[in-house]
Amino acid sequence: MSSSADQQQPEQASTSASAEAPAAETAGSSSAAKTEPELPPLSPQEFRAYNRLAETMEYFHDHFRKSWKLLYTAASTGKRPAGMTLKQFLDEGLSLVRYLETHHGIEESYFFPLLARKMPEFRAGKGKGAAELLQQHRQIHAGMDVFEEYLRKCRSGETELELSVMKEKMDLWGEVLLKHLDQEVQTLGAENMRKYWTIAEIRQIPI
């Protein structure tokens, strides 16, 4: 027959092990938190210098958002903007496509490769090997091509514009477009850029 002291041993061992587990987790969490050193606060002047690219990019992106909102509001409500002819409305959509194509072409040819020297967020690659921002470009253009084709058919008279159909075409790429416009600016923001570049280097980056 086992004594009462023997019967208590497994319970004590279990209690000891469970007490050690949170301690180990805490140590692991503390170690993970220390992987990225805390940087000192930026002065207003330093913030402006580091945030220059984000501010410039936001200027372009704000134009895209306004154009998208005008088009999508019309497509969602079934009403074109007051005072805008059908031709003007279709041209607004085609202009958005053209500007986005040009904007992304410049980014991928010149701007992103320069940033990718230090920033993995802008590195090119095949398929999912590319950075998320570049994958978003591909997703945007896949839907935008369908949208453009529809508008061109409406513009030529081959197809009559139906705003409900236009909305369907915009829904193919709207979510990823709006996410991309925000995410790209955030990635170029001061707090992220300071991790990779000096102020002198930032000032040399053309945009």
Q: For the segment 193-206, what is each residue's pLDDT rounded down to a tens digit? A: 999 999 999 999 99
Residue 56 in contact with residue 207, Cβ under 8 Å? yes
Task: Please tell me the total count of domains within the chain.
Answer: 1
Rounded to whole angstroms, what are the CA distances from 118 to 87, 111, 115, 207?
45, 12, 6, 17
pLDDT of residue 35: 66
Is 30 inside a domain boundary? no
Is 1 inside a domain boundary? no
Is 13 inside a domain boundary? no
* Rounded distance between C-alpha atoms, residue 104 and residue 41, angstroms: 33
Mean of pLDDT values over 182-195: 98
* Rounded distance between C-alpha atoms, residue 77 and residue 67, angstroms: 16
> Buried (b) or exposed (e) across 46-79, using 16+ Cβ within 10 A?
eeebbbbbbeebbebbeebeebbebbbebbeeee
The residue segments making up the domain with residue 94 are 46-204
Angle at which helix 52-77 crosses helix 86-106, to 10 degrees, equals 150
Is 39 inside a domain boundary? no
> Model pTM?
0.80
Is 147 inside a domain boundary? yes
Is 135 inside a domain boundary? yes
Is 113 inside a domain boundary? yes
User: 34's torsion region: left (phi>0), alpha (psi -120 to 50) or beta?
Assistant: alpha
Is 19 inside a domain boundary? no
Q: For the segment 135-168, what is each residue's pLDDT rounded down to a tens digit? A: 999 999 999 999 999 999 999 999 999 999 999 9
